[in-house]
Amino acid sequence: MSTPFPFTAVVGQDDLRLALLLNAVSPAVGGVLVRGEKGTAKSTAVRALSALMPEVDVVSGCRFSCDPDSPDPGCPDGPHAPGAFASRPARMVELPVGASEDRLVGALDIERALAEGVKAFEPGLLADAHRGILYVDEVNLLHDHLVDLLLDAAAMGASYVEREGVSVRHAARFLLVGTMNPEEGELRPQLLDRFGLTVEVAASREPDQRVEVVRRRLAYDDDPAGFAARWADEEAAVRARIVAARELLPSVRLGDGALRQIAATCAAFEVDGMRADIVMARTATALAAWAGRTEVLAEDVRQAALLALPHRRRRNPFDAPGLDEDKLDETLEEFGGPDGDGHDGGGDDDPDPGPGGGPGGQPEPDDAPQGDGDAAARPEAGEGGEPQPSGGTGDQSPARAAEPFRTKVLSVPGLGEGAAGRRSRARTEHGRTIGARRPRGALTKLHLAATVQAAAPHQRARGRSGPGLVVRRDDLRQASREGREGNLVLFVVDASGSMAARQRMSAVKGAVLSLLLDAYQRRDKVGLVTFRGSAADVALPPTSSVDAAAVRLESLPTGGRTPLAAGLLRAHEVLRVERLRDPARRPLVVVVTDGRATGGPEPVALAGRAARLFAAEGTASVVVDCESGPVRLGLAGRLAGELGGTAVTLDELRADSIAGLVKDVQATRRAA
């Protein structure tokens, strides 16, 4: 809509609004990452902030928004003569999840650069966002190499574009805001650390506050301009306060006492590196300026820690973000402070807390253990002498997963074309050059040798008799590159009674948890299908959130017979649906079972037919053999043969003997 929702009309979300305002006061804080469930005003608050940003003066005609008082000496549109300038509102530029690298950083016209020797540069979104706001919705779904480029530009204040020896640099200083829903996957800890502040948002559980949210939203939808007019005075007051805080910021003093508290806090929470200390110092300084003070107090340090540290304490995707506030207060008190006070005095700093204050408490977990009985059912003899719970279900309380370990690489044979990742070989935009082809659409990666080779035979016809080379568009060749892709790793886990022995299931969960951690590091999507009793369930549809899979795994109930065929058929259906949604992403099916099939009529024959569906479609598969004991039936190996894959024991998942897995899979297929 042309009239944004007023920033001061956002109900609650105090931490979110404060973090955005601090970055508006001091962009050096490093941006904000907003994490939260859908429908919590994340995007609304970010878009509303752009209307509060003061207008900027720019050099007339400059595509890179140079400041007329201090123009960038290296501006591609420069040098700028003093004089003409114009004022315009600060921009808010949105980066789509599917944006290309050229759209983000800009594009060079390689043809003109080679043929005419000129730097014809088309600015990208980083140039558009200079001296404004760059907003990335669903930043966790953005390709890693784009996130790296984005955060590098934010950290350096400049963007560099280099193609085949042609280089362009331009200023790119902006307020970076990313939003994400953790259910759809996490950012890597290295990327999380590059965001200055993080805020967790959740919908209020207070009925009065929810009523006020709905009331204001309906009023805005009915008459956007009229609603905005009613909040104009509050908006003007906050805009003036931002300007005043910016002017006061250089005068704010960060004393040795506050610096000592910052360093002690980062050390106490074992934060990696020094970026957290620097961000906390900048945030505390901005907090003091926002409050109209020229001295940083202990309350500023405390609030800065709550905004700058939670996301930096994550060591792996299964760690929940957060900060122990009791420990924080003890640290601040132990190391004293400029005013000898460790309390949070930021209650008066928020421009408009709204009715009911901020969101109450933390979001409730999405999932809880289901169907977990406390008592084990009376066992009876089952197939292979394994105890089987009576009554078909016989749930047992979930076993805790064993400690995860580093697994060997499981990959999909062949050469894919899926999303960039770190698992299987694929044709990608980044990686080693393996050949050249004519470009389809815009040229992104020039293969110089192939281009010269294509142009050379035509030089006489083009009038070139001396040194040099005339290059035309038809001569250009795109480099074909090979890198790695992320796959869909679908876990099919046997949770039946034959797997339910406490120590055994603990080892199985530890192995799956280890594979999940590996999938996170390799940027895969994951899914989880479980089977027990008489049916199979999709415990987790394919998602990028491996921590959600870990939660489902931890609460997995066990017991009952082994409907292996039902589990395989359900997995086959999941892959069919996912293939329609994301046809380029190749699947890897990991079946975790001892190979027994006891559920339903003719369970063994039915399981064999289900397995052969995967083999017929060429789906890569691995069976993790969980059979234990001195006497083994080898059923998992037989299942792997029918799947067209290979089997590996829990112990071999750690060992070098699995290194030849891909060759084994290919050999099996050739033999078939």
The contacts of residue 257 (CB under 8 Å, 6+ apart) are 336, 337, 338
Amino acid at 183: E
Amino acid at 664: D
Q: Annotate 159-181 with DSSP letters as a single string.
A: EEEEETTEEEEEE---EEEEEE-
| Distance (Å, whole) CA 136 – CA 46 | 10
Torsion angle of the four alpha carbons 239, 241, 242, 247, in this order, in degrees rounded to the nearest 10? 130
User: Distance between terminal CA atoms of the chain?
Assistant: 60
Q: Closest by alpha carbon to 559, among 374, 366, 368, 367? A: 374
Q: Is 127 left (phi over 0), alpha (psi -120 to 50) or beta?
A: alpha
| Contact indicator for 272, 190 with CB cutoff of 8 Å | no
CA dihedral sign, ordered 426, 430, 431, 437: positive
| Distance (Å, whole) CA 93 – CA 50 | 10
Q: Closest by alpha carbon to 111, among 74, 37, 166? A: 166
- Residues 93-99: contacts with CB within 8 Å, 24+ apart? 93/125, 93/128, 93/129, 93/132, 93/133, 93/134, 93/135, 93/174, 94/135, 94/136, 94/137, 95/125, 95/134, 95/135, 95/136, 95/142, 95/150, 97/137, 97/138, 97/141, 97/142, 99/125, 99/146
CA dihedral sign, ordered 159, 163, 164, 170: negative
Asked if 169 is an active-site residue, the reply is: no
642 CB-side CA count, 13 A: 19
| Distance (Å, whole) CA 565 – CA 167 | 58
Question: CA gyration radius for the chain?
Answer: 29
| Contact indicator for 25, 198 with CB cutoff of 8 Å | no
CA dihedral sign, ordered 153, 155, 158, 162: negative
- Main-chain dihedrals φ then ψ at residue 75, nearest 5 degrees: -60, 130
Per-residue DSSP letter, 560: S
Is the bond into 79 cis (omega within 30 degrees of 0)? yes
Provide the H-helix boundaries in 201-255. 207-222, 224-230, 232-248
As given in the structure block, the two tokens for residue 10 are: 């956002």
Name the one residue in this structure whose structure tokens are 């795109």: 478
Identify the bridge partners of residue 492 per DSSP, sorted by sequence position.
529, 591
Q: Is 248 left (phi over 0), alpha (psi -120 to 50) or beta?
A: alpha
- Main-chain dihedrals φ then ψ at residue 220, nearest 5 degrees: -65, -45
Amino acid at 5: F
| Contact indicator for 596, 504 with CB cutoff of 8 Å | no
- Main-chain dihedrals φ then ψ at residue 507, nearest 5 degrees: -65, -40
Q: Which of 91, 275, 425, 481 is catalytic?
A: 275
Q: Closest by alpha carbon to 345, among 294, 279, 291, 292? A: 291
Residues marked as catalytic: 275
